[in-house]
């Protein structure tokens, strides 16, 4: 019997490879199935999200660079949303549309100008008293610091005042250049005011035509979704502007009345400041309320200041738990945490205008996204309010119904009609 040339398993495992033994084949490419499915899905989502974030960043950068044009345009759109119900009511009562638009714009200018004039008039009329009380309050603060347990001496206070004065004198060049830049800023502000009025006039006159032109720029298949989402966002913006005016008026009246009854000076400027600050939800009301408390502390003492704190908190609770849910409704329902984060992001990106427009823009995006995702645009027709309202009201979670026990449920059994006997025609 010939000897077998096959090696044993021991020799095959531990023997060195010979020159004739082929090298293991290295695959030229990795099979897609070797990558886990979860990793492939995560990678696909990751690069798409990065592209979306990059696109949003580019848009935000462009808006910031063109802020001298974008901010007046946003103001015009917001004011037009506020004046649109008034103009519609005047036209419904027989007014010509041009006269209704002119009357609404002049009325808004008169109201804002009257409030500012009233605030400036009281500040100028009480300027001497304000200066005297400020000097007196500074003396009281100096006495409190000297008698405090922190062992602050009069020399330390004088040295601090001297350091502040020296810093101002050393930075006089920067301050002078800043004062010169005020002229440029004032010029930009006047340009922005005229641009906002110009945009407001044309948005009120031909807003529908402008929107149709914007919709026609999109692809044909996307036009129903874009048109419906835009109208949903406009309805949201209209409700926001209308109700925010009412909420700001109630806040200003409550805090201003409380300051007047407590004898706090500058009650009317405080009310005007609260009215303007209330257009930045939550944050603006807190800041203006703190200013009112500070004025009460400086001019009336800590007892009146504590009472003023109570007045501000009462008004804020009334706004947060009654006015906002009742008046704002579902169309602009945004979570308070989202409001704070959006206002903070807007103020970081665009300052005061960013904080002012952050909440209405977020509310519009919320409603427009819900409208598109709901698919209502597939069955919507132009000017169909029922579908639009139903989508807007979906922004607030409804109360869940309690399911009845199975024993109490009513089961509907289908009624089967009796079969008719066939009639034999040959019978």
The DSSP line for 207-226 is HHHHHHHHHHTS-TTTHHHH
Residue 416 has pLDDT above 60, yes or no: no
Most confident of 178-192, 337-351, 356-370, 392-406: 356-370
Q: Which band of pLDDT confidence, cut at 50, 70 and 90, is reported for residue 240?
A: confident
Report pLDDT for 100. 92
Which pLDDT tens digit goes with each residue over 250-293? Answer: 888 999 999 999 988 888 888 988 888 887 766 777 788 888 88
The pair of three-digit structure tokens given for residue 335, joined into one six-digit string: 């979570």
Label residue 391 by pLDDT band (50, 70, 90). very low
Query: Cβ(309)–Cβ(293) under 8 Å?
Result: yes
User: What's the whole-number mean pLDDT along residues 380-402?
Assistant: 43
Q: Is the pLDDT of residue 20 over 70?
A: no
- List the structure tokens of 421: 């006997």
- The predicted pLDDT at position 15 comes to 55
Q: Taking the domains of the chain in order of start, what are their residue ranges?
A: 129-158, 222-395
pLDDT (tens digit per residue) in 73-103: 888 898 898 898 889 899 999 999 889 999 9
Tracing tokens 């500058």 back to the chain, one arrives at: 266
402 has pLDDT over 80:
no
**What are the DSSP calls for 388-421, one per residue?**
HHHHHHTTSPPPPPPPPPGGGPPPPPPPPPPPPP
**pLDDT value, residue 414:** 52
In this structure, are residues 263 and 129 in contact, taking their beta carbons and an 8 Å threshold? no
Per-residue pLDDT for 49 more than 90? yes
DSSP letter assigned to residue 148: S
Average pLDDT over residues 296-317: 87
Distances (CA, A) of 96 to 198, 207, 355: 20, 17, 36
Average pLDDT in the 353-380 region? Answer: 82
Is the model's pTM score more than 0.75?
Answer: no
Question: Could you tell me the maximum CA-CA distance found in the chain, to the nearest angstrom?
Answer: 130
pLDDT value at position 18? 56
pLDDT of 223 strictly over 80? yes
Q: What DSSP assignment string belongs to 107-130?
A: HHHHHHHHHHHHHHHHHHHTHHHH
Where residue 301 falls among pLDDT bands split at 50, 70, 90? confident
Cα–Cα distance, 240 to 390 (Å, whole number): 17
Instruction: For 179-219, write each residue's pLDDT tens digit.
Output: 444 445 566 778 888 888 899 998 998 888 899 999 999 88
Question: What pLDDT shows up at residue 92?
Answer: 92
């Amino acid at each position: 019997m010939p000897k077998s040339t096959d090696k044993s398993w021991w020799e095959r495992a531990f023997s060195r490879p010979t020159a004739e033994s082929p090298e293991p084949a290295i695959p030229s490419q990795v099979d897609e199935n070797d990558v886990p499915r979860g990793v492939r899905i995560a990678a696909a989502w990751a690069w798409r999200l990065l592209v979306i974030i990059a696109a949003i960043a580019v848009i935000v950068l462009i808006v910031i660079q063109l802020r001298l044009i974008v901010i007046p345009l946003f103001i015009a759109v917001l004011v037009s949303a506020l004046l649109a119900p008034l103009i519609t009511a005047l036209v419904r009562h027989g007014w010509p549309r041009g006269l209704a638009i002119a009357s609404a714009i002049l009325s808004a200018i008169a109201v804002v100008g009257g409030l500012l004039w009233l605030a400036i008039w009281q500040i100028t009329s009480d300027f001497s008293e304000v200066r005297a009380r400020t000097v007196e309050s500074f003396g009281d603060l100096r006495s409190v610091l000297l008698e405090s347990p922190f062992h602050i001496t009069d020399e330390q206070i004088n040295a601090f005042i001297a350091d502040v004065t020296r810093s101002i004198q050393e930075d006089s060049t920067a301050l002078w250049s800043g004062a010169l830049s005020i002229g440029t800023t004032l010029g930009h502000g006047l340009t922005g005011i005229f641009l906002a009025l110009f945009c407001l006039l044309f948005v009120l006159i031909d807003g529908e035509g402008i929107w149709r032109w914007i919709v026609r720029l999109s692809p044909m298949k996307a036009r129903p979704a874009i048109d419906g989402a835009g109208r949903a966002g406009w309805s949201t913006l209209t409700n926001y502007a209308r109700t925010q005016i009412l909420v700001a008026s109630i806040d200003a009246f409550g805090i201003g009345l409380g300051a007047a009854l407590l004898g706090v000076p500058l009650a009317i400027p405080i009310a005007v400041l609260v009215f303007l600050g209330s257009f930045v939800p939550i944050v603006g009301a807190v800041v203006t309320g703190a200013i009112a408390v500070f004025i009460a502390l400086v001019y009336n003492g800590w007892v009146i200041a504590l009472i003023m704190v109570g007045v501000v908190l009462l008004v804020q609770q009334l706004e947060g738990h009654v006015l906002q849910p009742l008046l704002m409704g579902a169309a602009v329902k945004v979570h308070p945490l989202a409001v704070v984060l959006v206002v903070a992001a807007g103020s970081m990106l665009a300052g005061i205008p960013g904080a002012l427009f952050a909440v209405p823009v977020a509310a519009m995006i919320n409603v427009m996204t819900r409208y598109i995702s709901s698919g209502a645009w597939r069955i919507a027709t132009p000017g169909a309010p029922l579908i639009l309202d139903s989508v807007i009201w979906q922004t607030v979670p409804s109360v869940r119904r309690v399911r009845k026990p199975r024993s109490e449920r009513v089961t509907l059994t289908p009624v089967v009609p009796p079969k008719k006997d066939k009639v034999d025609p040959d019978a």
